[in-house]
Amino acid sequence: MQDTQDQTPLWQQLQGAATLLLAVRGGRSMTAELERVPPHLRPGVQALGFHALRWLGRAEALRQQLASRPPPPEADALLCVALALASEVDESLYTEYTLVDQAVEAAKNSEDTRHQASFINGCLRRFLRERDAMLAICERKPQAVWNHPQWWVDRVRKDHPDAWQSILLANNSRAPLTLRVNTRLTTQANYLQTLQDNGIDAAPVGEYGVILDSPRAVTRLPGYAEGLFSVQDAGAQLAAPLLLNGLEAAEGQPRLRLLDACAAPGGKTAHLLELADAAVIALDIDAERCTRVQKNLDRLQLQAQITVADAGLPDRWWDGQLFDGILLDAPCTASGIVRRHPDVRWLRRPTDIAQLAAQQTRLLESLWPLLRVGGRLLYCTCSVFRAEGEQQIQTFLMHHTDALLKPSPGHLLPQSRAAGPVFPDNLLRDYDGFYYAILEKRND
């Protein structure tokens, strides 16, 4: 156990984490809410917020035992953050005294929770006295055991009956910091040596990736300003090679013509440009996110045509020239990247799956006519739900006799070194959940 090591008082960080939880309960993204947190508080608040959201199911089950009815929302959020920390069975982050003291201090220092300080103090002290009995009761509640909404647990179990437990366990683990080396400027081996020379432990993953043994500030890593790497999960690094492998430009054309639909924030766009001499159009509906794509490409010393438009409305942006390859990283539930975004599971609703699947269908239908015969479309989502992956593509193939499904990874389920089984080789050792399908266009 350890007491807080940050110069910022723990009670301020607890307040910030409670604010994040309130925002998520109100339907707002934690990522966006973090931008409102003062920079000096942000690292600590993010760490506590991530922890609270990973173990929210258990924290809520404990709070239900401690109070017959929920306290006001602000006090409930603070209490649940503290319970998520206090109930950490394997390794408590803070001593019991420190946690209770600082949670009460956090309550006292806010107008919204000041009158609930005694209540929070009593709840936390009672939990510490009755910890074992209360945790035993939690073991009988699936949402407390798996720390996902019940509908999510049921859906994953239905879609992946042989792997659902390892998926949920992986979701509750901490994702590693994984980089993709910019092969136009360096090599995987050279960058690993650079890290080693700077006292940073790392290991190779896949053909282009590097996994750091511990998280670090990305902008302080060697070679960041020079564009030697990007941050990208090992599973996401498969996209560009899957599209490009064996793909050739149309007859008479000097280089590949590629479309990255739904391109922001630009990681896959950059990877395409790093691996191929291609003319790439990076398309996204959000102008602000397109600005991020441009900044990322500038740092990596790469160029693409960035266009703000709805990929599903090609009449508004397409110049009539067919593409050799299309990368469709479609909007989805993000159910495969929960370990990086622990708020996703609490933000999503069961109805979101069908709504997003309809959007994916619209994009597939709109973009398929833009592909030349012999060209290739890579459909991918960062989802483990079959409605956004396997079922989506099976339905598409039924209605398009000119589409051939090439050998594809299919559902790539999240794997973690910290939870569940992992593959022994360095290609697939630690990665988020994705779905990949390679569709080749042939004469009908």
Decide: 229 and 191 in contact? Cβ < 8 Å. Answer: yes
| Residues forming CATH 1.10.940.10 domain(s) in the chain | 10-147
Task: Give the residue ranges of the chain where pLDDT is below 70.
Answer: 1-6, 89-93, 417-429
Amino acid 417: pLDDT: 62
pLDDT of residue 258: 98
The CATH number of 10-147 is which of 3.40.1280.10, 1.10.940.10, 3.40.50.720, 1.20.120.850? 1.10.940.10
At residue 392, the pLDDT reads: 98
By the 10 Å C-beta count (0-12 exposed, 13-18 middle, 19+ buried), 281 is classed as buried
Catalytic site includes residue 382: yes
**pTM to 2 decimal places:** 0.92
DSSP state of 139: T
Fold of 178-231: Alpha-Beta Plaits (3.30.70)
What pLDDT shows up at residue 429? 63
In angstroms, rounded to a whole number, what is the distance separating the alpha carbons of residues 43 and 46? 5
344 alpha carbon, distance to own chain's centre: 8
Question: According to DSSP H, which parts of 301-389 are helical?
Answer: 344-347, 350-367
Tens digits of residue pLDDT in 241-296: 999 999 999 998 999 999 999 999 999 999 999 999 999 999 999 999 999 999 99
Which CATH topology does 236-441 take? Rossmann fold (3.40.50)
- The catalytically annotated residue of 80, 123, 290, 382 is 382
Q: What is the pLDDT of residue 96?
A: 87
The predicted structure's pLDDT at residue 427: 47
Alpha helices in 198-332 (DSSP H): 239-244, 267-275, 287-300
pLDDT at 187: 97
Q: Can you read off the two tokens belonging to residue 398?
A: 């039924």
> CATH 3.30.70.1170: which residues of the chain?
178-231
Residue span(s) of the chain under CATH 3.40.50.150 come to 236-441
